[in-house]
Chain A
């Protein structure tokens, strides 16, 4: 049977700054097909679905919906043309009931004008729910629903709007086994009704279970589309990785000393499960894993921002009592956080205050030494070549890379023994990126212990001496970074 594609995308390119998030990618979706998208973090999956849902528009390329060419697609048009995107947690109003959410903005009125006909709404929603064989109560508030029920509600909402295309972004990442199975059944049911489904998942087994075709993305490029029966897990993984050597940073070798930091059986119920590892002086210990595997939670515990339920941390053989970040700093542990804006910057304050923050708070008396603060800031600004007009410039006025340099600089004023970098180069341009790498290696040369969390595979592989793999809150593997392949790492992350 010849079917015409509902959605076609030809040679789409999306550029952010000087980074091509999507490069010449073509993609098509047939009715009644589950088309999976796979790729690493940052491969361009989200960019692709954002284009289809009208959230962003591509710099180049062509989009056809139902054979008709569309231009300047807006989210509203996209929905009207039958494309519904299901994000993890968006678009639901917690304080309304399930059926009210479905009809939000489009309420059915009864005989009296302005009065919502709740009964009719509930009945119609129940029809859809029954047709899909879902378990979803209609008259409870959304805040009482589980994660999987919220997903289902979004599906109902999409179907009510006559969706012909459903885009599902990591629908199972927060679901348990049974819930995942139920969701799979619903997806199959939808497919049989002729709805086209774009399905994104890190879990490759799911893709083989329900996918018809799979498109592999890597660094913003499409690595072709395959019918699912013509490809194996191994091949998909191979397509996802395998990069040019130019993406890898060539770091200097550093002499590695004795063990300085020992982490023993650290647990925080439900998030981090009995993690043990040690880091030697001069060593870069990388931590990899999928988003949500407990990486950031682990470093929050090491840094005293969260409490561990169990376990101990030793530095230079001495057991540390860390109850707050202040304790951690005093013991010589530094954390460069992942989310600059949320966790790092004092947005409205100037460069001096942002640079001297840690020093003045933790290593000085009651009175500030403003002369010293300025000299120290000059040192940091020079050392890291921060591009700024003057020191009274607010940090929020600097570019991303320069903001990150100031945040890192704040931890270089006083020597720490352990430096934890959580996604050190996220949102940082390539030039500044290399400088940050050099800086990390320089710290290692000075005998510091480095812990580096990264979702960026080339970064993890080119910087780390050893790599710890986190999965579901456990440190499942620690591998020597010697002749290790990207492919092998991904397999460990996913657990195949």
Chain B
């Protein structure tokens, strides 16, 4: 007993190791990405041209922005499957305002505010009626789509030749601005998750809402903040998307929610909440971009691309289960030692 005591005394400062790289899902994603890139590059050398690489980065920009917001929301223990419909509604509103001559700034601000409001509605209804946000966001898909159809009367809103800057600008003529915006989104989200009270709260309410509440955290406030930020990112993504396409319709963005949730899960954030890192999401989104581009380069039937996406999610679940098995093996000897002491 006394010997053990001195051992404890000696270990004055515990290290806080960065979790081993082998335990991180993003590391496996990186390996997968490099492998796929090399194989594709060998078959079709055009894969590694600057223009193709920039093309990939441009294509994953919108998904990346949306997925950053989704990561926060999923960590907080909630989910939003109305993202696509929300993008549709806010981008048609932006497009109509630009068409109506209200000016870019006002149009963008109103569009983003609308996206925030929409996401908040999903959250507020879920919290108020004690329903899962999966269900309330399911309901709001039709609401957002319906409103978008009503105000556009189902027509295409084109703004060709206007508001092209964000979508077309390339830094040093190479790097697409939209990709830089998505990188900014990742960085902002990473900063929030790791260095602010807001991030800490998000993990806490996602991990154990009762414990969080009894530690003085307002669970409602924390979750609604996550919804609002999710909306903010959706709004920014709508802006980028509109600028790149130059047109919007109610169905713009549909299907984005599934891709975003998929990217978050592939990146190692469990839907149960309380865990996850933005770097995982980054590599998850990148993997989806690389695979989709590779399949094109390899001239695979586009229908199979959809199949690949599903298989990818299943594979990522397998990876996270396997790595948690490994962890359990590591814990055992340690707890036995504790009992003996």
Interface, chain A (partner B; CB < 8 A): 17-18, 303, 305, 324-326, 328-330, 335, 337, 342-353, 357-358, 360-362, 364-368, 370, 374, 377-378, 381-382, 385, 387-392, 397, 399, 402, 410
Contact = CB atoms under 8 A, between A and B. Distances in A.
B339 interface: yes
A366 B198 CA distance: 7
Contacts of B201: 361
B210 interface: yes
B211 A343 contact: yes
A303 B214 contact: yes
B210 to A, nearest CB: 5
B12 A382 contact: yes
A434 B8 CA distance: 17
12 contacts: A305-B213, A325-B214, A326-B218, A342-B211, A343-B214, A346-B212, A347-B208, A366-B196, A378-B13, A391-B15, A399-B339, A410-B215
A349 B203 contact: yes
A324 B215 CA distance: 10
Contacts of A343: 208, 210-211, 214
Contacts of B299: none
B204 interface: yes
A324 B218 contact: yes
Contact of B274 (A346, A350, A364, A368): A346
A400 B18 CA distance: 25
Interface string B170-183: 00000000000000
Interface in B199-251: 199-201, 203-204, 207-208, 210-218
A358 B14 contact: no
Given A390-B16, A391-B16, A392-B19, A368 B200 contact: yes
B200 A305 contact: no
**Size range of the interface on B?**
35 or more
Contacts of A351: 14
Interface stretch (B62-70, B314-322, B330-338): B330-338
A445 B16 CA distance: 33
Contacts of A362: 215-216
A344 B211 contact: yes
A366 to B, nearest CB: 6
B334 A389 contact: yes
B204 A357 contact: yes
A377 B14 CA distance: 9
4 smallest CB-CB distances across A and B, nearest first, come from A326-B216, A391-B16, A346-B207, A329-B216
A17 to B, nearest CB: 7
A368 B275 contact: no
Contacts of B3: none
B137 to A, nearest CB: 24
Contacts of B204: 346, 349, 353, 357, 361
A423 B339 CA distance: 22
A176 B233 CA distance: 56
B8 A399 contact: no
A349 B198 contact: no
A133 to B, nearest CB: 42
A18 B339 CA distance: 9
Interface in B1-60: 5, 8-9, 12-19
A367 B194 CA distance: 9
A156 B9 CA distance: 60
Interface centre among B198, B217, B274 (most CB of A within 10 A): B217
B15 A361 contact: no
Nearest to A429: B339
Contacts of B199: 368
Contact of A346 (B195, B197, B208): B208
A392 B213 contact: no
Given A343-B210, A347-B274, A353-B204, 8 more contacts: A325-B213, A342-B210, A343-B214, A360-B197, A360-B200, A361-B215, A367-B197, A385-B5
A357 B338 contact: no
Interface-centre pick from A325, A330, A344, A348 (highest chain B CB count, 10 A): A348
A367 B17 contact: no
